[in-house]
Structure formats: structure tokens, C-alpha cells
Amino acid sequence: MADLLRLENVVSGYGDAVVLNGLSFAIKEGRSLALLGRNGTGKTTTIDTIVGVTRHHGGRIVLDGVDISAAAPEARAHAGIGWVPQERNIFKSLSVEENLTAVARPGRWDVRAVYTMFPRLGERRRNLGGQLSGGEQQMLAVARALVLNPRLLLLDEPLEGLAPIIVEELLAAIASLTREEGISAIVVEQKARKILATTDDAIVLDRGSIVHRSTSRELLGDPAALDLHLGVTSRN
């Protein structure tokens, strides 16, 4: 299967500061990838770089054979990249429905389809984004990325600060999207065990470079690697 997204020796960061120094990896169509690492290792910068909100210093970002390194963020979104940013970042002054209709593009995922996936959003469609709970905001952030009808979802710490029951609900949604709907996904997450059980492949970053690459199942079954790279105890 062909690569959907490929990063080739990407160098990027914020302003003159370089965070990613020659990062290379690829994700195939229909696969999901867990992007792991301790705090400050470049996970969010990787996502931001793919989205196009960092300064690009070098290398190539190729989406479905097309170099998008110089493309504007909205062009990347229209090319099929859906972004669920860290801390949700929904539009708090817009209602749930307005958050969705503001970005919706034609395709299988319309407002009705995301309400079917997240019925709670349908119930609260007239509420302002700022009136939602953390879990509902996260659902809205995922739904907002879905109505763009993306081929690749980028989820930046989607489980952060959520109640356990909401975490399970969201993990089920992510699994359904990647395994049943065939949408590729890159998921940055601190809850390593949770996300490794949901994804196909895993990459561990340290200081902007890849220090481990395997399938998620292999990493999950290797307590030594988990402890070495992530300091993950049996509970995390």
C-alpha cells in the first residue's frame, strides 16, 4: 500500500528555533500511528509542522505523492488533513453546530453523520462551545476535523484531562474511524498504553528525532522499551 503521508528529513520549529532536525517517517493509507515521547520531545511540533503552522526550514512533506511543504494550512486541510489540536481549541463563541458548519466540506461526514457518532453533540447543538464540558469539547474538536472529510486525522493529546468514561468513548470513536472508516490517523498521546492498544504503529521521539519505531503491539509487549523511552509504569 502506498504512503499517504511521508516526512523526508523535515527540519522545522518556531521562529529561528529548530525543534525537529531531520525527521523522517511515513504513514500508509488506512493505518494509525501513535506518536509518543516525553514532554518537550517534539510531538506537538511534528503535528503542527504537518498542519503547517510552524516555520519550515527544510525537508519535504509529501501527501499522497504531492509535496505540500510550502502549502498554506487551509490548502493542507482541503487536501485531506484534519487537525484536532491540543487543548481542543474549539471556537468558544460559536455554537456546536456553527463550529461544524463553519468548516464542513462535502463528503460522507456531514453534520448529521457526526451527530450519529457523537449523539451528545446533537443534543447540545445549540450550546456555545464555551458551555461544553471538556469531553464534549474534545468530541466537538474531533467532529470538526471529521466534517472536513479528511483522509488523515492528526490528534494531539485527545485524551488529556478527560474523565475515564469519556476516554473510553473517544478511544472507541478513534478505533472506529481508523479501523472501520479507513481514515488514517496520527495520535500524539501521553497515555501510552491506552493509545497503543488502539493504533497499528508506534514511533517514539526524543529531542526531535525518532528513537524507537515498531508496531504498537510490539511496543506494548515490551515493558523495557516502554520504561526506557517513556518511563511508562504498568499503570500508564
Partner 1 sequence: MRSATASAREKARQAVADATRWQTPELAFWAVAIAAIFLFPSRHLLLNEIAIVGLFALSIDLILGYAGIVSLGHAAFFGVGAYTAGLLAKAGIGEPVAGLAIAAAVAAAVGFATSFLVIRGSDLTRLMVTLSVALVFVEIANRFESITGGVDGLLGISMGPILGLFEFDFGGTTAYCYSLAVLFGMFLVARRLVRSPFGTSLRALKENRLRAGAIGIPTARRIVTIYTISASIAGVAGALLAQTTAFVSLEVLDFARSADGLLILVIGGSGYLYGGLLGAIAFALMRDALSSLTPAYWMFWMGAILVALVVVGRERVVAKFAAAVDRLRGSGS
Q: 86: number of CA atoms within 13 Å, CB side?
A: 10
Nearer Cβ to partner 1, position 63 or 225?
63
Nearer Cβ to partner 1, position 188 or 219?
188
Note whether 83 binds partner 1 by CB under 8 A: yes
The count of residues interacting with partner 1 (CB under 8 A) is: 30
CB of 96 to partner 1, least distance (A): 12
**Rounded Cα–Cα distance for residues 99 and 109 (Å):** 14
Q: Which stretch binds partner 1 (CB under 8 A): 109-117, 164-172, 190-198, 219-227?
A: 109-117
For 55, other C-beta atoms within 10 Å of its C-beta total 14
According to CB under 8 A, which one of 26, 53, 197, 210 is a site residue for partner 1?
53
Which DSSP helix (H) or strand (E) runs through 137?
helix 134-146
Q: What nine digits make up the cell of 142?
A: 474531533
Question: Per-residue x/- marks for partner 1, 151-190, CB under 8 A?
Answer: ----------------------------------------
**Rounded Cα–Cα distance for residues 35 and 156 (Å):** 9
**Rounded Cα–Cα distance for residues 36 and 177 (Å):** 20
Residues 6+ away with beta carbon under 8 Å from 110: 104, 147
Question: Per-residue x/- marks for partner 1, 116-155, CB under 8 A?
Answer: ----------------------------xx--x-------
For 64, other C-beta atoms within 10 Å of its C-beta total 15
Q: What nine digits make up the cell of 173?
A: 470513536
Q: Which stretch binds partner 1 (CB under 8 A): 61-69, 90-98, 161-169, 204-212?
A: 90-98
Instruction: Using DSSP, state whether 174 is helix, strand or coil.
Output: helix
According to CB under 8 A, which one of 17, 102, 163, 228 is a site residue for partner 1?
102
Which DSSP helix (H) or strand (E) runs through 61?
strand 55-63
Q: Which stretch binds partner 1 (CB under 8 A): 67-75, 156-164, 172-180, 202-210?
A: 67-75
Binding site for partner 1 (CB under 8 A): 51-53, 72-74, 77-78, 82-83, 85, 89, 91-94, 97-99, 101-105, 110-112, 144-145, 148
